[in-house]
């Protein structure tokens, strides 16, 4: 599923899903008209409408639950990314107070981590992976800070803040990496797709003999199903696809002054 949303832009995926499910609905209704000899009388229409209401209510509740959870998952990923970028920006401010002979190595280590995250790792995360050089650069940064021994109360204050910043970066990074994968179990996502296809075809088939105008409600129903399904799948991977967490947070403020 990750490859699908990486390959097809969101709006094209949405349009393709709507066209596909509307077509399935249309062909199943035409098949029902030609193969089923039951007359589409008032009693039959009432039964069909009741069936549609029961099936659609249950299924839309499930999709709504999935959309809410995937959206919250996406927002959590954005929040931990924002925390990481904020902590990194504060780190650059704090190390600027160190003596130059100590500041250079720490600054270079922090810069290497920043660039590796917003360039190399962001490309890797799109495919569901991390970048080993980012981990290595973070370890180097931590090591450079450990080697530095503050000499004055002023340096000690900013050193303690820098250590706190790095700890926050590590914590936020772990939170970001933990959200690379789907929040929806594979079995549920597959069930959603299969269930949507089955429901679209089934509702088209039970219409029996009917003209095109009377089938408009099931076309609209199929399109709503397709829209919600595409939305749920697009939210599922926070760092993949068109709707994803951007690396722009690592280009704002003081971080934007540091070139790649």
| C-alpha span between 149 and 165 (Å, rounded) | 17
| C-alpha span between 20 and 223 (Å, rounded) | 9
- pTM value is 0.81
Share of the chain above pLDDT 90, in %: 38
Domain that holds residue 59: 1-257
Q: What is the pLDDT of residue 89?
A: 95
How far, in Å, are 126, 127, 155, 197, 219 from residue 180 at the CA level?
8, 9, 38, 28, 35
Give the angle 97-89-111 at the CA atoms, nearest 5°. 80
Number of domains in the chain: 1
Q: What is the pLDDT of residue 248?
A: 93
| C-alpha span between 218 and 201 (Å, rounded) | 10
What is the mean predicted confidence (pLDDT) over 194-219? Answer: 74
> With 60 as the cut, is the pLDDT of residue 6 above it?
yes
Mapped onto helix, strand or coil, the DSSP state of residue 154 is helix
Provide the token pair at 254: 């003081």
Helix H or strand E encompassing 241: none
Q: pLDDT higher for 83 or 201?
A: 83
């Amino acid at each position: 599923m990750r490859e699908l949303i990486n390959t097809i832009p969101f709006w094209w995926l949405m349009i393709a899903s709507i066209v596909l499910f509307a077509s399935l609905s249309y062909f199943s209704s035409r098949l029902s008209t030609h193969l089923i000899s039951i007359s589409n009388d008032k009693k039959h229409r009432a039964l069909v409408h009741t069936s549609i209401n029961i099936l659609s209510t249950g299924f839309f509740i499930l999709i709504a639950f999935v959309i809410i959870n995937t959206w919250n998952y996406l927002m959590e990923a954005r929040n931990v990314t924002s925390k990481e970028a904020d902590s990194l920006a504060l780190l650059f401010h704090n190390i600027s107070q160190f003596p130059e002979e100590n500041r250079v190595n720490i600054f270079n280590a922090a810069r290497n981590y920043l660039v590796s995250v917003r360039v190399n790792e962001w490309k890797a995360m799109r495919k569901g992976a991390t970048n080993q050089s980012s981990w290595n650069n973070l370890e180097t940064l931590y090591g450079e800070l450990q080697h530095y021994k503050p000499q004055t109360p002023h340096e000690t204050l900013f050193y303690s803040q820098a250590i706190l910043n790095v700890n926050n970066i590590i914590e936020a990074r772990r939170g970001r990496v933990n959200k690379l994968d789907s929040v929806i179990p594979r079995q549920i996502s597959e069930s959603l797709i299969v269930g949507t296809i089955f429901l679209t075809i089934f509702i088209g088939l039970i219409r029996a003999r009917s003209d095109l105008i009377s089938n408009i409600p099931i076309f609209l129903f199929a399109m709503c199903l397709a829209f919600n399904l595409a939305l749920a799948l697009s939210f599922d991977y926070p760092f993949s696809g068109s709707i994803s967490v951007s690396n722009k947070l690592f280009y704002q403020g003081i971080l934007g002054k540091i070139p790649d």
